Structure 1
Amino acid sequence: MGKLLSQKVALITGAASGIGLEVAREFAKEGAKVVISDLNEQAANAAAEQLIEQGYEAIAVSCDVTKEE
């Protein structure tokens, strides 16, 4: 049986640690390609690397979603 989110991309904000990272991991387990978004660029990169090491597809993006521009 296929994974629920196969061929989908999930953008998770605040995903460098804590609940956000666990949400990203669960999306990845279901087959999603995960975009880790966080204010802290180093933490976002580390979180994405962690998921990649676990066999998932992930990238990191540093951004502040409270600022429209």
Structure 2
Amino acid sequence: MIALAGRTALVTGGNRGIGRAVALLLARAGADVAITFRSRAGEADAVVGEIERIGRRAI
């Protein structure tokens, strides 16, 4: 896996589906992650929590 420590990633549609999976993969690789979403804010909050539990920053 690519090491992304010190990097920040922006994932559109990061609250569910493929976007969620990509956001979590990037966090596991060491990146801080910003996600965008159009609806379902609760799902976005859940993804942010998952990323933070991995030990990365998320918004």
TM range (shorter): 0.7 to 0.9
Correspondence for 1:30: 29
CA contact (8 A) 2:15 2:36 kept: yes
Tell me the secondary structure at the aligned position of residue 11 of structure 1.
strand
TM-score normalized with structure 1 length: 0.70
Bigger radius of gyration among the two: 1
SS at match of 1:47: helix
Q: Alpha-carbon deviation of 1:11?
A: 0.3
Which structure would you say has the larger RCO, counting Cα contacts within 8 Å and 6 or more residues apart? 2
* Structure 2 unpaired stretches of 5+: none
Give ranges in structure 1 of 5+ residues lacking alignment: 60-69
Q: 2:8·2:32 contact (CA, 8 Å) conserved in 1?
A: yes
**TM-fit CA distance, 1:44:** 1.5
Aligned 8 A contact 2:11 2:19 in 1: yes
Report the aligned-residue RMSD: 1.5
Which structure's residues are more often strand, by fraction?
Answer: 1
- Report % sequence identity: 35
Partner of residue 39, structure 1:
38
Shift of 1:25: 0.7
More helix, by proportion: 2
| TM-score for both structures, normalised by structure 2 | 0.79
Matched length: 57
